[in-house]
Structures are given as C-alpha cells and as structure tokens.
Structure 1
Amino acid sequence: MAPTKRMLYSEEAMEAAVKAVTERKKGMREAARHYGVPDSTLRDRIKGRKSMRKIQRTALTSANESRLVSWLEESARRGFGRTKDQVLNSVQEVIRDNNVPTPFKEGQPGDKWFQGFLKRHSKSLSIRTPQALGSQRAAVTGGKIRGWFRTAHAEITKENPDVLNHPERIFNCDESRFQLAGGLVKVLAPKGDKRVSSDARHA
C-alpha cells in the first residue's frame, strides 16, 4: 500500500478550523478546506479524540503568513513581483529576528516549505511569468498618460507656440535600445491579475 501523504498545517490553522465548526460558521469539510487541515483530524479534535497524526508546524504563524501574502500581493501590484528566493530570504529574516526555532538549515526554509506555502494560499497567490516591463512602466495608467500629454503640450507651446502646428518638426524617441528589465524570472502575484511585472532579474 502506498504511504499516505502527510498534510502540512499549523496548530493555529487547526484551532481556527475547530472554532469555525463549533461556532457553526462553517461545515466540517468547508472548514478543513478553508484552513488547509485534514478533515479527519479536525473531526477527531471536535469529538475530543486525540489524533495519532503529528502536527507539522509551519515556519510562520497563520498571522505572519497572512502578512507575508499581503506584502507579496502589494509588491506585485506595484511592479515588484517577488521571486521564490526573495520570499525564502524574507522568511529567513523573520525567523532570525524573532528567534523562531526551526529545523531549517541556517533558518531558511527550502523548496518543501515554499510548495506548502503556495498550497496553503493557492486561492490568493500564483507563480507567474511577468511582462518585460520595469516598475515605472508597469505603474502607468490612462490618467497618467493624459496628464503627461497635457504637461508636454503646455511646456512645448511655452517654448515655441507654433511648433505643434508643424508635425514634421516633431520626432519620436523611445528606449527600445535600452534594456530596462533584464532576464525575467517567475514571481508570485495575486491570482487572476492580468498584468504582472517585476524588476527581479537573474543573478
């Protein structure tokens, strides 16, 4: 018989699931799915039976993971999508600053923790390949473009009121020959976002 796959979850997640069921806010299966805990273990907890399964604590508490998710979402929306390595380095700093005991080498989680983190927050985050845009271009909106043209029009006409009446005297230049966003790597971004950009580059 193939070995069963052990689910990774935190004690805080289990306690939250128990509370949701006992307060009749969620059904058993819904709470287990929402908090990422085994429904059989949740059922045992509610019935007062001690589970034989050993809980594997996550590196961060549920609250800290929620803050990490919010930071990743906001970073991506600002054009600074974070890579896997950047996430692991950030978690290492939190663990080190708070003296959190972990089995990780030098306090940094590895691929197993990262995959578990993605699974726990699969409704919020996904791994994406960003567009080849720098953060400045990623932040451009229609309103900003119209504002730029208004400012440009005012500045040009102030210097030479007649120049805009002669389009043959206007030349367009862009940054096509300048590499603003280097070799892009995959980043974490809010699930469903249509535009994903990043300043992250290959080392």
Structure 2
Amino acid sequence: MGRLKGRQKEEREEHIRLAIERYQTSKDPSIRECAETFNIPYSTLRDRLQGKSSRRDSHRRQQLLSEHEEKSVVAWCIRMDDWGFPLKLSLVKEMAAYLIKKRNSGHKLGVHWLGRFLDRNPEIASRFSSRLERQRAFADNPILLKDYFRLLQDVIRKYNILPKNTYNMDEKGFMMGIAAKCKIICRRARKNPRLTHNGSREWVTVIEAVSGAGEALPPMVINQGMAHYKGWYAGVKGDDIATFSYSPKGWTDSFLGMEWLIQNFDKFTADK
C-alpha cells in the first residue's frame, strides 16, 4: 500500500476503530469479515486486535517535537490563519527548530519534516497564497466581508474583548510641497485657476490608532531623512504629544512598526 496523506490516515484509523468495535460486539466474530467490510488489510486488523500500536503511535517517541509542542505549533498556525496572517513555511520550520534547540538535544530538522508534520496534522495544509492586489480587487465582495466580520466576532466573544480595548491602526502618507485641490477666490471669468506650490515632493507618513470607544492615541510622524532635523519640530508645542522618527524615503518598515508598538501603542495602553 502506498503512503497515505494526513486525511486518508485519519479515515483509515476510523475504519480500523469501527472494525475493532464490530469484531468485539459480534456474536460470531471474524477478523477477515470485519476487515473486508471496512476495506482494511486483514493483517492490520489482526495486529491491532493483538494489541499492536499504529505506525503513528509507534513512531511518536522518535519525533523531534513532543506531542504537546506539535499541537501548540498547529494551534499557532490555525490562530494566525484565522487572524488573516497565514504563516510562511519557513517560519513554521523556524519555530520548530527553536523548540528543538531549547531542549539542547543536538537534533536538527530533516528535509522532509514539514511534509510529515502536515501528514500528522490534517487540520492544516499548505496552499499558495494570493497576491495582495487580488485581495484588494475582492475587497468589496459581500461574502468575504461577512466572513471577515464573522471571524472578528468569534475572536471578540472568545476573548471577551471590550470596545475600549479594540484599536484600529492605519498609516497615511502626505506629499509635502504639493498643493491639494481646493476652493479659492479668483476672477469670475477666469477658467481653471492654478495654485502654485514648490514641488519639493518630500514624503511624510503618520501612523495613527483609535479605539472602539473613540479614544485616539498620540500619532507617530515619520519624516524623510537620515537623522533628526531641528526644523521638523519648529511648529511643535510643548503640550503636543507625539513621537517622531525618520526613514530614507519617509515610509514605514518593520523596524518602525515595532518602534510604534513600543513607543506609542504599548506606552499609552499598558495601564488600561
């Protein structure tokens, strides 16, 4: 018999369990008849009735991760997928390698570990992810929106999250020196009046967060540059609460996102 996939293994184990149950409750038990009824090999049913463990149970002690550790990794994968941040294969392997390294066992993950991990846990599977542009194209799909808010409500009910502890975080970019379209005063007969600007095109990003109760956290302003410049703070008053940072293009990145979590979000929400 060829190697079975995770779901097929689960189905086969269920058939073996039903065959054993039928054999034990039958008035005239027959191993061959029970094996043929549930489409499993005669030798397999015979060995199980004699107390032999399944292949999965017999190899469980040889697994690099303990059963508890493996189930924790599976729960982590499912939780991140429910939150809309499915994990890359490399990140799952890094977590498993980290758990093994903490035990100082000297073992390393094999080339085929991930495939066998998925076979043992049929509740998760590997898929090709969609590109972000495609996700945005379907952003107005009512079925996807309903599914998103259903998952959100499940998380809120499960962890009893209050509106004051629910925050929406977003970023907004501003092109400094570019005049926005607006109403102006001009001659009545004049057509297409233009508003001049210096055209410097310097980019500034602002990260903001507002709670479900309407409380706004101090923003984080990211200027374009290689260091802090005194001119950035010329209009900042003493009672203004905000944090300032910089990047070569005035954009956010993973480092600045972590800095925002520590310097803004955690700082102003930890006491609440």
TM-score normalized by the length of structure 2: 0.32
- Of Structure 1 and Structure 2, which has the larger fraction of its residues in strand? 2
Which one has more relative contact order, counting CA pairs under 8 Å at least 6 apart? 1
Greater Rg by CA: 2
TM norm structure 1: 0.40
